């Protein structure tokens, strides 16, 4: 059993490091830069008879108004889809790898995560590893190692996908809270209500031992994870709204 726990711990740490490093690769950012270079080359070949260059349009912006309210362009949508697939894929790959590194835990699976030792709502090692690997991969684009820990694009779509995968009921509450808050006080209030609802529901799921139909069982680790995820989203929104 000691060997199983040791091999699981080594696999978990390796997966977390890989998740952050691979998650930090800003696919959406690279896609936008590639498109910008292609369009600049076409502009140069076309001579000076063309209209002035619209950088926002080249980068995929959906309009000339406020970026917060304009629709995303094709490049942004494709980039967000690629980053989302990458983050969810890394989370699921971690689950498979850590479970394979725990041969003694097959068959009757004991709860074994270090979080929640005072309760019986404990995840398995591979569930716990997958949960935090997904978050590490989702945080990667916000503080990309390859860009000097600067933002390489928005990571909210990947983080939302993780919420759907791991805590679907809380995600539904968050979406409902966003629209209620937006109708009552605007987008900023909508985000606040959404995040509060998301965290509150995961904690209620733990304390009230609510059933789940998909994702991971409710418990202290999922509640803690939801609070960290909400904090990341709040920090991203606060940074976007801060004056330059």
| Full residue range of the structural domain in which residue 224 is found | 167-244
Question: How far, in whole angstroms, is CA 235 from its chain's centroid?
Answer: 13
End-to-end C-alpha distance for the chain, whole angstroms:
54
104 with 218, same domain? no
Residue 33 tokens read as: 């830069």
Indicate whether 159 belongs to any domain: no
201 with 146, same domain? no
Helices 168-185 and 156-166: angle between axes, nearest 10 degrees? 130
71 with 181, same domain? no
Helices 125-139 and 156-166: angle between axes, nearest 10 degrees? 160
116 with 218, same domain? no
138 with 185, same domain? no
117 with 222, same domain? no
Indicate whether 12 belongs to any domain: yes
Could you say which of 102, 126, 152 is where a domain stops?
A: 152
What is the C-alpha separation between 59 and 79, in angstroms, rounded? 11
55 with 113, same domain? yes
Q: What is the pLDDT of residue 61?
A: 46
What is the C-alpha separation between 110 and 113, in angstroms, rounded? 9
Indicate whether 158 belongs to any domain: no
Indicate whether 160 belongs to any domain: no
pLDDT per residue as tens digits for the range 108-150: 555 566 676 667 678 888 899 999 999 999 888 777 776 776 6
Could you say which of 119, 152, 185 is where a domain stops?
A: 152
Residue 195 tokens read as: 């995040």
Indicate whether 46 belongs to any domain: yes
138 with 21, same domain? yes
Task: Between 83 and 165, name the one with better pLDDT.
Answer: 165
Could you say which of 152, 182, 203 is where a domain stops?
A: 152
For residue 242, the tally of other CB atoms under 10 A from its CB is 7
* C-alpha dist (Å) from residue 191 to 19, 85, 176, 230: 27, 24, 11, 10
Total domains, the chain = 2
What DSSP character marks residue 150?
Answer: B
Residue 244, pLDDT > 60, answer: no
* Whole-structure pTM value: 0.75
**Which residues, at least 6 apart from 77, have a Cβ–Cβ distance to it below 8 Å?**
60
20 with 137, same domain? yes
Most confident of 60-69, 106-115, 162-171, 205-214: 162-171
For residue 141, the tally of other CB atoms under 10 A from its CB is 31
Most confident of 1-5, 28-32, 121-125, 230-234: 230-234
């Amino acid at each position: 059993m000691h060997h199983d726990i040791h091999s699981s711990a080594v696999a978990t740490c390796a997966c977390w490091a890989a998740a952050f490093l691979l998650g930090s690769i800003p696919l959406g950012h690279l896609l936008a830069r590639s498109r910008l270079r292609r369009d600049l080359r076409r502009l140069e070949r076309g001579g000076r008879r063309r209209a002035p260059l619209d950088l926002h349009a080249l980068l995929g912006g959906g309009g000339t108004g406020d970026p917060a309210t304009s629709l995303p362009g094709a490049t942004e949508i494709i980039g967000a889809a690629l980053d989302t697939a990458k983050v969810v894929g890394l989370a699921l790959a971690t689950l498979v790898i850590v479970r394979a590194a725990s041969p003694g835990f097959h068959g009757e699976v004991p709860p074994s995560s270090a979080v929640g030792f005072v309760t019986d709502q404990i995840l398995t090692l591979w569930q716990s590893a997958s949960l935090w690997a997904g978050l590490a991969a989702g945080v990667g684009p916000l503080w990309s190692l390859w860009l000097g820990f600067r933002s390489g694009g928005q990571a909210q779509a990947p983080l939302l996908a993780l919420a759907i995968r791991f805590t679907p009921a809380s995600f539904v509450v968050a979406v409902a809270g966003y629209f209620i808050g937006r109708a009552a006080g605007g987008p900023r209030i909508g985000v606040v209500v959404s995040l509060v609802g998301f965290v509150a529901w995961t904690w209620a799921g733990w304390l009230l031992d609510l059933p789940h139909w998909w994702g991971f069982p409710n418990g202290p680790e999922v509640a803690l994870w939801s609070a960290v995820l909400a904090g990341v989203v709040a920090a991203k929104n606060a940074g976007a709204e801060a004056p330059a």
